Chains A and B, each alone.
Chain A
Amino acid sequence: MRGARPLLESLVAIGVGLIAGGLLMLPFGYHPLRAYQALFQGAFGTLHDVLETLAFATPLMLTALTFGVGVRAGLFNIGAEGQMYIGAIGAVWAASFLSLPPGLHLLVATLVAILCGALWSLVPALLKIWRGVHEVISTIMFNWIAFHLAMYLAIRYLAEPGRAERTRPALPTARYPILAEGSTLTAVIFVAVLFCLAVYFILWGTRLGYELRLVGENPEAARYAGVRIGWALLWSFLIGGMAAGLAGASQIIGRPPAWSLYATLGNVATLGFDGIGVALVGRNHPLGGILAAILFGALQHGGRFMEYHAGVVSELVRAVNGLIVITLAVPELWTMLRRRLSR
């Protein structure tokens, strides 16, 4: 029973979000059913599509982790976006400008990205712990600073000579192997899933995770239990930053065909914000996040088909994401529904 209700709530929210999204198509003369049919066909129609859906899901499960680990510690950390930009910059630098043996190069590039993400989360964390600056404001400001900083670095220092629109691509020694011919899914998905599993283990299998969750559930009880609250918050930010950094890396050294960062940041932008919806649908649980990421990956990959076949702009998928989040914010919806059903 404890497991069933959150799942049902998520499903209801997804349903409401999709229906509301369909309603948004009507004024512009699109056909919602045809659009959604194209979307799901596009997402799961062939094995190739399933692999693409998984490729889209990879960064989402990580940015969802950033938000989810924050919520577990009572934070509303929406800094995944900026931490991901900086992680991506770190990955570009390590993968394209260092020269290392295969294997090691891949490892170093991944770790540099993770470190960069964590570093970018450090300042909002310290501001929160020392000055009580609300993380919504600090992380959003850091997202925008990261946005301009990443563009600057990408264009000024990391650009591919002669091609200003993107950075130098990752060297072959720093690329994750592609899993199937013609697909953009690489072995980085295994790293992402492993990361999620590791965080799951930390949260429920260690003293650190116990204390972190206790701070989120009841900060006063945490104080009574002798938990050093600042440390718990710091770890929550850092784990989140690492996840976001890895998400950034996954789009550089784990995603063909570009293997690089666009100067507009177009191939990473909004993945951090998308993670918020993914996390909430996955109930801020690392494993739930994996499932929810696959669902949202399907929406994003299928969205491109929808645009092609039904003419509906694929960005609508992001709007649906927002509608799902709004629905999940209303617990009464579930209560009302249950009352209706039990009658």
Chain B
Amino acid sequence: MRDIHKVYPDGTVALRGVDFHLEPGEIVGLLGENGAGKTTLMKILSGLLPPTRGEIRIDGRPVRFRNPADALRAGIGMVHQIFTLVPPYTALENILLGQEGSMLWLSKDRARDQVQRLLQELGLSIPLDVPVELLPIGVQQRVEIAKVLYRGTQVLILDEPTSALTPLEVAELFRFLRDLKAGGRSIVFITHKLREVLEISDRIVVLRNGRVTGEISTPEATPEQLAEWMVGRAVVPRVSRSPRPPGEAVLVVRDLEVIGDLGLPAVKGVSFEVRAGEIFGIAGVEGNGQSELAQALGGLRPIRRGEILLDGKPLTPLTPIEAYRRGIAHIPEDRLRFGIALNFDVAENSILSRQWEPAFLRGWGRLDWGQILSFAGRLLQQFQVIAPGPRALARSLSGGNQQKLVVGRELTKEPKLILAVHPTRGLDVASTAYIRELLVQMRDAGKAVLLISADLDEVLELSDRIAVMYEGKFLGVGPVEAFTRETIGMMMGGIVPQGRVG
């Protein structure tokens, strides 16, 4: 790929002249922050997006892909970060889609043998006749990979393939990828995690802001060098956290059971407490009940059994407004889903969940716009939100600034307990560092902070005490010093290391 440019129809410039090449039988790590252009580049290579400028050559011959079918025919296939599986279809049906063999009647039996042979060859085990929506994420990923390889793919592109996997599953995936490489296939591995790229790749290409900022063969690479290429700065700043004796228990949760969307228990009898002046971190692969736990504490989901005590007083039944009144601030897991309304302006978003506060109202339920605007102005200033002004639409703010607005709104609620769910997911390095620092400040100011995050580094860096959540239960609870990356990693996969009981 030479001199690839991409400008999206809405005017966003994603790629500004990228050169990229791939040899047979190598694994290339494509490293970069969110929005660096990694995914865009690979979508162009896999035919999903047309480049605005630039050319692609295979074995020296220029090619033009109009759609993914062209790329597949040229032997290039991509495993997307968000899987492209049809949820109610079985694994077999998903693998067959587009390759049904006949044009008229659908017959799955003939294809079944072929698929089974392929799976055997690859050493993948997949239940073929279960709808994929019922399979665990790790198995879904295998289906996705099998789907691409069934089409005779020689170049396999994987976009952030480890984001939803446990460390054990990651190790298994890496073993599989090395086998594929040994079989002569080439692999592009997109990630933002330094550790992974150093472990799996032969060569590393770093993208920042739509440009290649560095390229190095993996044995020569150092994490510091890669980080500098990635963020344009020497090191990712670490939040400093001084030891501090914790205070009274603010939140006490006893034997909590919460029902999930599918009607089955998602949180299965969890007990813990969060004390004033401490950050209690809950680690775990997403989908193990963390969302439901957070929603229950925020008043968004009824609890089935157990009790929640705040300052020693029971807290049920709970509505979001009641939770706020009692002193819970909730930084929700997905700001676009829960936290803001994109077509509301900054001022309107600054009172979202606070719209009932007397401070923002005049008589008869009228909004006091003077108060709201000055409050929004204060938020922008105090929390370093970069926005044209309180009347700018939330849509016009970057993700980091939207999140800072949400965090500011919640932290100014004068809470006793801060519920922070994936508070830095998808954010740039600067906003991430800033928000982490705010959480530590809150802790130092004597607040109780409950941090739920799928980012293991975040939990380890910020928390005073840690719990690992797996299938709705806590596998281990203890001070941060008692855990290592490896032990947490095993617990995230459901394995309690020898000699430890939570």
Contact = CB atoms under 8 A, between A and B. Distances in A.
A207 B320 contact: no
A221 B367 contact: no
B496 to A, nearest CB: 35
A122 interface: no
A316 to B, nearest CB: 35
A217 B343 contact: yes
Interface string A200-234: 00000111101101100110110111100000000
A221 B298 CA distance: 13
B9 interface: yes
Interface in B343-364: 343-344, 348, 351-356, 361, 364
The 8 closest A-B pairs by CB, nearest first: A226-B321, A226-B320, A225-B353, A217-B341, A224-B338, A218-B341, A207-B365, A206-B365
Given A207-B367, A217-B344, A221-B339, 11 more contacts: A2-B393, A206-B364, A206-B366, A213-B344, A214-B344, A217-B341, A220-B337, A221-B340, A224-B330, A225-B320, A226-B324
Interface of A: 2, 205-208, 210-211, 213-214, 217-218, 220-221, 223-226, 335
Contact of B355 (A210, A217, A218, A335): A210
B94 to A, nearest CB: 29
B128 interface: no
Contacts of A217: 341-344
B344 to A, nearest CB: 6
19 contacts: A205-B369, A206-B367, A207-B356, A207-B361, A207-B365, A210-B351, A218-B340, A220-B337, A221-B339, A223-B338, A224-B320, A224-B353, A225-B353, A225-B354, A226-B299, A226-B319, A226-B320, A226-B321, A226-B353
B338 A220 contact: yes
Given A206-B367, A207-B356, A335-B9, A223 B344 contact: no
A221 B337 contact: yes
A226 B340 CA distance: 13
Of the candidates B299, B319, B355, B364, the one having the most CB atoms from chain A within 10 angstroms of its own CB is B355
Contact of A207 (B9, B352, B355, B369): B355
Interface of B: 9, 298-300, 319-321, 324, 330, 332, 337-344, 348, 351-356, 361, 364-367, 369, 393
Contacts of A218: 337, 340-342
Nearest to B335: A221
Contact of B341 (A208, A221, A226): A221
Nearest to A207: B365
Contacts of B324: 226
Contact of A225 (B342, B352, B361, B393): B352
A221 B356 contact: no
A218 B344 CA distance: 10
B355 A211 contact: yes
Contacts of B353: 224-226
A217 B344 CA distance: 8
Nearest to A223: B300
Contacts of A226: 299, 319-321, 324, 353, 356
Contacts of A211: 355
A217 to B, nearest CB: 4
Contacts of B393: 2
Contacts of A225: 320, 352-355
B353 to A, nearest CB: 4
B348 A210 contact: yes
Contacts of A335: 9
A223 B320 contact: yes
A199 B295 CA distance: 34
A225 to B, nearest CB: 4
Contact of A214 (B330, B337, B341, B354): B341
A54 B337 CA distance: 43
Given A208-B365, A217-B344, A335-B9, A224 B339 contact: yes
B366 A205 contact: yes
Contacts of A206: 364-367
A210 to B, nearest CB: 5
A226 B339 CA distance: 12
A213 to B, nearest CB: 8
A220 to B, nearest CB: 5
Given A206-B365, A208-B365, A224 B341 contact: no
A2 B320 CA distance: 33
Contacts of A220: 337-338
B46 to A, nearest CB: 25
A221 B367 CA distance: 19
Contacts of B354: 225
Nearest to B344: A217
B137 to A, nearest CB: 23
A186 to B, nearest CB: 31
A224 B298 contact: yes
Contacts of A208: 365
Contacts of A223: 300, 320, 338
A208 B355 CA distance: 10
Contacts of B320: 223-226
A205 B362 CA distance: 10
Given A214-B352, A217-B343, A335-B9, A224 B367 contact: no
Contacts of B337: 218, 220-221
B459 to A, nearest CB: 24
Given A217-B343, A218-B341, A220-B337, A210 B367 contact: yes
A99 to B, nearest CB: 36
Contacts of B343: 217
Contacts of B351: 210
Contacts of B342: 217-218
Contacts of B330: 224
A4 to B, nearest CB: 14
A224 B332 contact: yes
Nearest to B322: A226
A1 B343 CA distance: 15
A214 B354 CA distance: 13
Nearest to B299: A226
A218 B364 CA distance: 25
A71 to B, nearest CB: 12
Of the candidates A2, A210, A211, A214, the one having the most CB atoms from chain B within 10 angstroms of its own CB is A210
A220 B344 CA distance: 14
A218 B337 CA distance: 7
A213 B342 CA distance: 12
A40 to B, nearest CB: 35
A335 B11 CA distance: 11
A57 B353 CA distance: 39
A286 B491 CA distance: 57
Nearest to A335: B9
A218 B393 CA distance: 14
Contacts of A2: 393
